[in-house]
Amino acid sequence: MIHPHPAASNSDEFKGFNEARRIMWCHEARARVYERFQQTSFIGDAKVAAVHIDNTSRADRVFLVAFDKAGQRVGADTLYVDEPNQRLDIASEFDHDFSGMEVVPNSQLRQAISRENGWVVNLKALREYEPLADRRATQRAVFLAHLQDMMKKGEVREFLFGRGESDDTDAD
């Protein structure tokens, strides 16, 4: 019989690890949305202000409907989901509610939102997304989350932040 480590039952035991995992999941969702939208013409089309993602109707595909600033339909596309990591689940940084995007009342976009069969991407927020900067920020955040656990366990005693100059003459 295998007995768990006594401290493993403490929910705070891996608090940093759990935070790091959450940070990574959010990053992966943002990156996936950005990468999948690169497969469409919507990012480059200036008249597209928002895209409704229907990710609930079918498991094997995602239906995209593009809308202009007035909330009128201007295009559509379908992205196929061959692998589970291709799904377009909500990335709150791009979601119309979280990004504060205004939706014209009584518009086709408002009607699509009211059906509650997906979520809406604010294309302004998606166009401003910098994948490399996000990746670097995520790496730092994950490290800091893990650092908390390592310090608790005594695995880390000291560290330096910032970019130090390496000096090869200080060999011990």
Q: Tell me the pLDDT tens digit for each residue of 130-144.
A: 999 989 998 988 888
pLDDT class for 7, splitting at 50, 70, 90? very low
Cα-Cα-Cα-Cα torsion 6, 7, 11, 17, nearest 10 degrees, comes to: -130
Q: Which tokens belong to 24? A: 């990574």
Q: At what angle do helices 15-37 and 131-152 cross, to 10 degrees?
A: 170
Q: Which tokens belong to 19? A: 């935070």
The yes-or-no verdict on residue 158 having pLDDT over 90 is no
CA end-to-end span of the chain, whole Å?
Answer: 48
pTM to 2 decimal places: 0.76
pLDDT digits (tens, 9 = 90+) for 12-54: 666 778 888 889 999 999 999 999 999 999 999 999 999 999 9
Q: Which tokens belong to 4? A: 């768990």
The DSSP string of 46-110 is: TT--EEEEE-SS-SSEEEEEEE-TTS-EEEEEEEE-SSGGG-----TTTBHHHHT----TTSHHH
